Amino acid sequence: MSLFDNTQYAFESKSDAELQRAYYLFKLIGNSTLTNLGTVFFKLPFAVHIPFVKTSIRGTIYKQFVGGETAEQGVQVAKQLYKYGVSSILDYSVEGQTEEADFDHVKDVMFGLIDMAKNNPEIPFVVFKPTAFGRIALFEKVGKKETLTADEEKAWQNIRSRFETVCREGFEKDVNIMVDAEETWMQDAADELTDEMMVKYNVKRPVIWNTLQMYRHDRLEYMKKMYEKADREGYFLGYKIVRGAYMEKERARALEENYPSPIQPNKAASDRDYDNALRFVVEHKERFGLFAGSHNEDSCALLIQLMQEHNIQPSDRNFWFGQLYGMSDNISFNLAHMKYNIAKYLPYGPIKEVMPYLIRRAQENTSVAGQTGRELGLIEKELKRRKK
Ligand SMILES: Cc1cc2nc3c(=O)[nH]c(=O)nc-3n(C[C@H](O)[C@H](O)[C@H](O)COP(=O)(O)OP(=O)(O)OC[C@H]3O[C@@H](n4cnc5c(N)ncnc54)[C@H](O)[C@@H]3O)c2cc1C
């Protein structure tokens, strides 16, 4: 019996038809042969332009994991979820851009989202990926302290300026800004930049939040080091703590380029550091904001227990739980019933743009041991309960 087993709460926002759709979808993507074939097909450039294919995606996997084509459509979904105490973080998930004009466009989108968050209590954070503001190769070069050409220097200053203006806007409008974590080879430069923003804007409370991936074996030490710095200099740290999403890619690159893998030796080590990071934060709660981004029931239950032991109220605005839209509703909605702060990442965008995100969700639900089985088991239980 887990804290998150109540399926009536878990699926209270879903009609019978929506629940049936989710059931068939998880059955489908639970089949690894089908998912692998689908992945190959959907990566073909013309695939999403075939009208029948587009309609099928829209009615199934897109509907399950995406909030809509536009931010306005996303807000409507966010309002629905908020009726049940579940907040949303609109995630403009464009990936792989290379042009300065595209990076500037993302910055403008962030400004729009900050305004939306300011005016809608159901949106507690605005999030971006560092590489949505500039080329990954540049982050890598800066992280390695390599000399930049004049053009690169200019492009790097543009990235800095996008970071800076978005963080300042968040600070001035009192809207939390979350920065996602990506591949290790670009992360040093992004961390330095985000820490600079924290020093500047987290003077009274955590407004700027960075992300720590606990599948890296060096992140717990890094967090402790940042704590000492923040404590010495007197600013607040905001951290989303996740396990990490790029494990296969990280390991493959380390092998290929012959350097030691930055990833933990096994899952148990990632779990251990994840849970120890939660412990460290609650033990130093006066300095931290925490957003536990996880679908792991044990880690979520541990955080509840730690918050209780350290007299942290469920409604404390510096403590958040987070899951992805369309996944682990049992955790999100049961947490909401217990009055904890909980926010779903709610991606939005046209089908073509969000396809890489959808493919990752399908693969994750196929490859993460037990994830699909758990979703299916819960949906089955709820469908039976409703028939009674
Ligand atoms: C709200 C939210 C925001 C997120 N933001 C980010 C982000 O900014 N950056 C990012 O990288 N990810 C992000 N993620 C994804 C996250 O990092 C995980 O990939 C995902 O949540 C699965 O981990 P888990 O804790 O939910 O569950 P679990 O199922 O308990 O853990 C699965 C994870 O454990 C780790 N793992 C699995 N096998 C091994 C192994 N053999 N050795 C070592 N480690 C292993 C991997 O990280 C894997 O993803 C986010 C997730 C959520 C819910």
What is the set of domains in the chain, with CATH numbers? Answer: 202-312 (3.20.20.220)
Q: Please report, for residues 142, 154, 180, 342, the alpha-carbon distance to residue 147 in angstroms, rounded to integers and kept in the order given.
A: 8, 13, 26, 43
Q: What is the residue whose two structure tokens read 């350290």?
A: 310
What is the identity of the amino acid at 145?
A: K
The Å distance, Cα 370 to ligand 1 centre, comes to 14
Strands, sheet with 208-213, edge to edge from the N-terminal-most edge strand: 87-92, 342-348, 319-324, 288-293, 237-242, 208-213, 176-179, 125-128
Residue among 242, 270, 361, 375 to mutate when testing ligand 1 (max atoms within 8 A of CB): 242
Per-residue pLDDT of the chain (388 residues; tens, 9 = 90+): 789 999 999 999 999 999 999 998 888 877 766 666 666 666 666 666 666 667 777 777 888 899 999 999 999 999 999 999 999 999 997 777 789 999 999 999 999 999 999 999 999 999 999 999 999 999 999 999 999 999 999 999 999 999 999 999 999 999 999 999 999 999 999 999 999 999 999 999 999 999 999 999 999 999 999 999 999 999 999 999 999 999 999 999 999 999 999 999 999 999 999 999 999 999 999 999 999 999 999 999 999 999 999 999 999 999 999 999 999 999 999 999 999 999 999 999 988 888 888 887 877 666 555 667 888 899 999 999 999 7
What is the identity of the amino acid at 308?
A: Q
Instruction: Give the closest residue (by CA) to ligand 1 atom 9.
Output: 181
Decide: helix, strand or coil at residue 213. Answer: strand
- CB 217, CB 228: distance < 8 Å: no
This prediction's pTM: 0.95
CA angle 324, 326, 332 (to 5 degrees): 60
Handedness of CA 110, 114, 119, 121 (dihedral sign): positive
- CB 333, CB 37: distance < 8 Å: no
The Å distance, Cα 294 to ligand 1 centre, comes to 7
Residue 88 in contact with ligand 1 by CB distance below 6 A: no
Instruction: Give the closest residue (by CA) to ligand 1 atom 38.
Output: 267
Residue among 131, 176, 178, 243 to mutate when testing ligand 1 (max atoms within 8 A of CB): 243
Q: What is the residue whose two structure tokens read 């300065």?
A: 100
Task: Give 119: exposed, middle or buried? Use CB within 10 Å, 0-12, 13-18, 19+.
Answer: exposed
